[in-house]
Structure 1
Amino acid sequence: MSDVSSKPAALPKIAGLTLAATGVAHFVRPQLFEPITKPLFPRNTQQRIYAHGGIETALGLGLLSAKTRKAALLAGAGYLGYLGLSAARSTR
């Protein structure tokens, strides 16, 4: 029987591992991210793919530890805001 009280503690770690793996995938298979990245960042697309991969890897790793989780969440909110503004800017 699983302990229900451990599920909330596991969720940030699962999210962190998933985000970090996605970040690493930017380096392993950058071509997968080009269709998403190119419309928002038509110049220096490859450089942006790697930068976003690094950011997502760092954020994911930050979610793994309770000591760094709050900072990673705040940084993640800023990153999402940056991506949202970039998307809004690209539709003009």
Structure 2
Amino acid sequence: MAASDRSALLLARLLATTGTAHFVAPRPFDAIVPRVLPGEPRTWTYVSGAVELALAAGIALPRTRRASALLAAGFFTAVLPANVKMARDWHDRPAPLRKAAYARLPLQAPLVLWALKVSRDNRP
């Protein structure tokens, strides 16, 4: 298997795992939904989980990999406000939790770059 295929499948696995977690343990995700979004946080948790599962499936399939990876890059950018909210809300948590919340912020950039690379590696 080519390195580009392994990278794509690893990204798909990450998205599938996270997407599944939105349904199995939704409460932590509910807590980071920005308050400015209309409706109930649980709805947004389920929608974002479903999007992650759909992106995972699209990236896993070579035929839809390029487009799905581009969409994943957009998705990773779109969820950044949730990570900012988490970091702000967790300012008074114990140091390890606070550090984990802050560590999520710069991790978005590598995820976006990874998705873009998967898309570039799968040009027609």
- Deviations for 1:12-60, whole angstroms, at most 9, x for unmatched residues? 1011011112101101110131232255647410100000000011011
Show structure 2 runs of 5+ residues with no match. Answer: 86-124
Q: Equivalents in 1 of 2:53, 2:62: separation in Å?
A: 17
Which residue matches 2:51? 55
Residues 40 and 73 from structure 1, CA distance in 2 versus in 1: closer, same or farther, beyond 3 angstroms? farther
Alignment of 1:30 onto 2:29: no
Q: What SS class does the counterpart of residue 33 from structure 2 fall into? A: helix
Alpha-carbon offset, residue 9 of structure 1: 1.8
After the TM superposition, which of the residue ranges 49-58 and 38-47 deviates more from structure 2? 38-47
Aligned residue runs from structure 1 range 1-92, under 5 A: 6-38=2-34, 41=37, 43-84=39-80, 87=81
Q: Check whether the contact 1:17–1:61 (CA below 8 A) recurs between aligned residues.
A: no
Query: Matched residues, percent identical?
Result: 29
The TM-score with structure 2 as length reference comes to 0.56
Would the aligned equivalents of 2:58 and 2:68 in 1 still touch at CA under 8 Å? yes
Aligned length: 84
RMSD after superposition: 2.7
Q: Say which SS state the counterpart of residue 37 (structure 1) adopts.
A: coil
Aligned-pair distance for 1:67? Answer: 0.7
Q: Which runs of 5+ in 1 are unaligned?
A: none
Q: Which one-letter code corresponds to 1:80 in the other structure?
A: F
Q: Does structure 1 conserve the Cα–Cα contact (< 8 Å) formed by 2:30 and 2:42? A: yes
Quote the Cα distance in structure 2 between the aligned partners of 1:76 and 1:24: 16
